[in-house]
Each structure stands twice: as structure tokens, then as C-alpha cells.
Amino acid sequence: MAEPIRIIVDKCVGCGLCIKVCAYDAVSLVDKMAVLNERCTVCGACVSACKYDAIVIERRPFKGQDVESYSGICIFAENRHGALSSVVYEIIGAARELKVSLDKKISAILLGEKVREMADELISYGVDEVWMMEDSAIGDFNEEIQADLVAKILLDKKPEIFLGGGTIIGRSLLPRVAARILTGLTADCTELSIDGDNKLLKQTRPAFGGNIMATILCDSHRPQMATVRHKVMKAAEPLEGPHEGQILELSYPVLKPRVEVLEFVPEEMDTVNLADADFIVSGGRGLKDPKNFSLIEGLAKAIGGAVGASRAAVDAGWIPYSHQVGQTGKTVNPTIYVACGISGAIQHLAGMKSSDIIVAINNDPSAPIFNVAHYGIVGSLFDVVPEMAKQIKG
Ligand SMILES: Cc1cc2nc3c(=O)[nH]c(=O)nc-3n(C[C@H](O)[C@H](O)[C@H](O)COP(=O)(O)OP(=O)(O)OC[C@H]3O[C@@H](n4cnc5c(N)ncnc54)[C@H](O)[C@@H]3O)c2cc1C
């Protein structure tokens, strides 16, 4: 336990409220008295719930960690439905570059039901040690279970750097882990490097709406944690020739989550994964009506691409959030990005401006999207988009 937590026996009346609120099955009644077990994470839920002030946490002032006892680079091997997420290859690419400056091993935390093959794959990409926990109780991603396991593994193994993907899973998991193990987290980094003087991880990310780049250091807490923005760093290729790696099979108790995943239902839209797409056609408020997304889908189909959207279109309920491109949506990096009826607000640009070729279709010649577009078409999307689709099909 990170902090001492205790039951004050004179005050406990054995009402059981603490048992009801505990998500970790960490409290039971023995002789009508609350008793804590080793599952307790000192989350404090029982302290707030107790009407009799019978549970207390004695918070210790933080005196800094023994940073010297932490070593190596660890990555989170995010996986779903039997495969590593594409961001993992990008994180390995970043970790391999950090390894050159730091000269420490790369490890990976791999959790899931059937993940053994992925462990071998990680090694073929240059991971030196895979900390694997294969357990049917882990199953589909559940942030409560995985945050608990990742925190325990990090506390035991003590890597100095821990990296995850800036994906929906990574954004949900890593903050929980950071809070549990009392360290910082830089979200959505676009660049990582090692400071030549003090060997600290330099974590760089856009700040203030993308107007400046901030480089963040975490000097007195470990591990130094960062999520990596998807599609920004170059994906690693498998190493040429064999690589000696080790797979360590770990075993920890899996906690009982408060949320149960009943079923996984894939989204029905006939589109490819946005973040991995080479061609994207996006629609914005200029479409005026949800049914007009059929024009965007028509062009996307013609060029074999995916459908994206601005937040205005998503907020209007015209298309699901999973299609949103931008600061609060997905970051994409396709070969061609076609923006239709999108003004080019800075928050939208944050998610697509690194596309190789940007084509903008807008009837307002002063729309800011034209400032980043390589090709601009001033005209109504209702004329231009179907014509483009027709010409491409032809
Ligand atoms: C904290 C924060 C986070 C945000 N995150 C995101 C994000 O992740 N992604 C995002 O997209 N936005 C985001 N936004 C919102 C962003 O600021 C803009 O409001 C949004 O991008 C506007 O969407 P739009 O371009 O579709 O709509 P508008 O700005 O209304 O632009 C519509 C465009 O369509 C054009 N148009 C109209 N009719 C036609 C026609 N017939 N043919 C061609 N063009 C036409 C107009 O000239 C106009 O340029 C965020 C905002 C905040 C504050």
C-alpha cells in the first residue's frame, strides 16, 4: 500500500458501508469489524463513505523517489482482438531511438487473454524483455483491471521511462496508472528524446492550441511517463536478423471491476480505420444536413479512403465521434486529406495538418483551411464532390 490506511476499532460499528463502496473487494467484516486485505489500493472510497470516521489514511509528505533505482525503457503493448495496435510499432520506434542515447534495455508490458504470439512479435521488433500476463480474466480492455496490473508491474520492475499510445485506450489507462504510482504524465507527445546532460526524458507536445511546442521534464518522480500521439512518430520495422529477447510470465491477482464488458459491437459504418488510412475525405458543417455525408462517403469510396469529420459535424450528431479529426478527435497523417465544407479551425488543423497533401473544397475563398491546403477549390461542395467522385471512378 502506498500510504498507511487503518481502521479505528473504537469507532467502527460494522455497518458494512465500506464494503459496498470498495471496488477492489478489499474490505470484509470479521467479528462485526471492518478489516482490510492486500487488495486495498488506498483509493479512499471507504474513508469518504464511513459515517463514523472509523477509517483514516495517514498521508505521508512526499520526499521524492529514489530515482536511481529505476532503469530502462518500458512500453505498453496495447492490443485488441488478438493483435497489437498499430501505435505500438510507433512507440517501439521511439523507444529504439531513446535506447541509442540511454543504452538501457527496452521492455514491454503485454496483458490479455491470448497474447503469447504478440510477445514473440514484440521481440522481433527489438523489445528485449516482455513482461507478459496471459489470463482469461483480463479479456477485453477494462481500464480498472489493466491500470491496477500495470501499476503493480511498474512498481515491481521499476523502469525509468514508461510509454503508451495516445489512443482511446492509452488516454484512459495511463492517467490512472500515473495517479496510482504518484508520477507525472505528458499526454500526446509528438517528440521524445534524451537530455544529453541529465539523461532525463524530454517530452515534447503542442501547447496552447498548437501555437507553441512545450518540452516537459519529470525529474523527481519515476517512471517518466508519456503517451505518444498516433501517426506522428515513424513506425519501427522488424529487426534484420534474430534478436535475443526474454518473455517473463507474470502473475498478479486480477481485481473485480465495477464495469463489466457484456459484448463488443463493431461500428457498422463501412469505413477503414481513420488513424491508419492513406486517403481521408472529411465533411464539416458546410454539408448542412447529415444525409449529405453520403457525398463524402461516395468520394471516399471512389478513392478507397476513410470518412472523417469536423467536430461541428460530430456535435450536430451527423456522424459518430469515432470519425472526428482534430485536437479532441483523432490525429491523422494520410497521403491525401480532402476537407469538404470545413473552415479550418486551429483545433481541426491540429489533427490533420501533417497530411502529405491537403485538398480543400470551400465556397468561401477566405476560409483558413486554404492557408494549409496544397490544392484549394473555391466552390460549392455539392457540385465539386460528386464531380470529383465521378471523374475518379471514370
Ligand atoms: C477545446 C476545443 C477542442 C476542439 N476540438 C476540435 C476537433 O478535434 N476537431 C474539430 O474539427 N474541431 C474542434 N473544435 C471546434 C473548432 O473550433 C471548430 O468549431 C470546428 O472545427 C468547426 O467545424 P467546421 O469547419 O465543420 O464548421 P464551420 O467552422 O462552421 O465551417 C463550415 C465551413 O463550410 C463552408 N461551407 C458552407 N457551405 C458550403 C458549401 N456549399 N460548399 C463548400 N463549403 C461550404 C463555410 O464556408 C465554412 O468555411 C474544438 C474546439 C474547442 C474549443
| Coil/strand/helix, residue 359 | strand
Is 362 a pocket residue for ligand 1 (Cβ < 6 Å)? yes
In angstroms, what is the span from residue 295 Cα to ligand 1's centroid? Answer: 18
Residue nearest to atom 4 of ligand 1 (CA): 347
* pLDDT for the residue 272: 54
- DSSP E strands in 222-287: the ranges are 224-228, 246-249, 279-283
Q: Is 347 in the pocket of ligand 1 (CB under 6 A)?
A: yes
Task: Return the residue whose CA atom lies nearest to atom 51 of ligand 1.
Answer: 347
CA distance 216 to 229: 15
Atom of ligand 1 nearest to the CA of 283: 26
The pLDDT of residue 1: 47
Closest-CA residue, ligand 1 atom 26, reads 284
CA of 331 to the centre of ligand 1 (A): 16
Tens digit of pLDDT at every position of the chain (394 positions) = 456 899 999 999 999 999 999 989 999 999 999 999 988 988 889 999 999 999 999 876 666 678 999 999 999 999 998 999 999 999 999 999 999 999 999 999 999 999 999 999 999 999 999 999 999 999 888 899 999 999 999 999 999 999 999 998 999 999 999 999 999 999 999 999 999 989 999 999 988 766 788 999 999 899 999 999 888 888 999 999 888 999 999 999 998 888 888 888 776 655 557 878 899 999 999 999 999 999 999 999 999 999 999 999 999 999 998 899 998 888 888 999 999 999 999 999 988 988 999 999 999 999 999 999 999 999 999 999 999 999 998 8
User: Looking at ligand 1, which atom is closest to the CA of residue 284?
Assistant: 26
Residue to mutate, 352, 362, 387, ligand 1, most ligand atoms under 8 Å from C-beta? 362
State the pLDDT at residue 276: 80
User: What DSSP assignment string belongs to 272-294?
Assistant: --GGG-SEEEEE-GGG-SGGGHH
Best mutation site among 285, 287, 318, 380 for ligand 1 pocket (most ligand atoms within 8 Å of CB): 285
What is the DSSP code string of 42-110? ---HHHHH-TT--EEE-PPPP----GGG--SEEEE--EETTEE-HHHHHHHHHHHHHHHHH---EEEEE
Please give the pLDDT value at position 64. 65
The alpha carbon of 227 and the centre of ligand 1 are apart by a number of angstroms equal to 27
Q: Residue 308 has what pLDDT?
A: 96
Question: How far is residue 376's CA from residue 370's CA, in Å, rounded to a whole number?
Answer: 6
Contact 109, 83 (CB under 8 A): no
CA 108 – ligand 1 centroid, Å: 39
CA of 340 to the centre of ligand 1 (A): 10
State which of 293, 323, 347 you would mutate to test the pocket of ligand 1, scoring each by most atoms of that ligand within 8 A of its C-beta: 347
* 331 Cβ below 6 A of ligand 1: no
Q: Which three cell numbers stand for residue 141?
A: 480492455
Ligand 1 in reach of 348 Cβ (< 6 A)? yes
From ligand 1's centre to the CA of 341, what distance in Å?
8
User: Of ligand 1's atoms, which has the minimum distance to the CA of residue 312?
Assistant: 23
Could you tell me the distance, in angstroms and rounded to a whole number, from the CA of residue 285 to the centre of ligand 1? 6
Q: What is the pLDDT of residue 261?
A: 82
205 CB less than 6 Å from ligand 1?
A: no
C-alpha of residue 357 to centroid of ligand 1, in Å: 19
Q: Is the beta carbon of 381 within 6 A of some atom in ligand 1?
A: yes
pLDDT at position 60:
67
Q: Which domains does the chain have, with CATH numbers?
A: 5-57 (3.30.70.20), 67-249 (3.40.50.620), 274-393 (3.40.50.1220)
Residue nearest to atom 48 of ligand 1 (CA): 343
* Helix, strand, coil fractions of the chain, as percent rounded to 5: 30, 25, 45
Whether this prediction's pTM lies above 0.85 is answered by no
pLDDT of residue 65: 75
Q: Alpha carbon of 265 to those of 168, 260, 262, 268: distances in Å? A: 16, 14, 10, 8
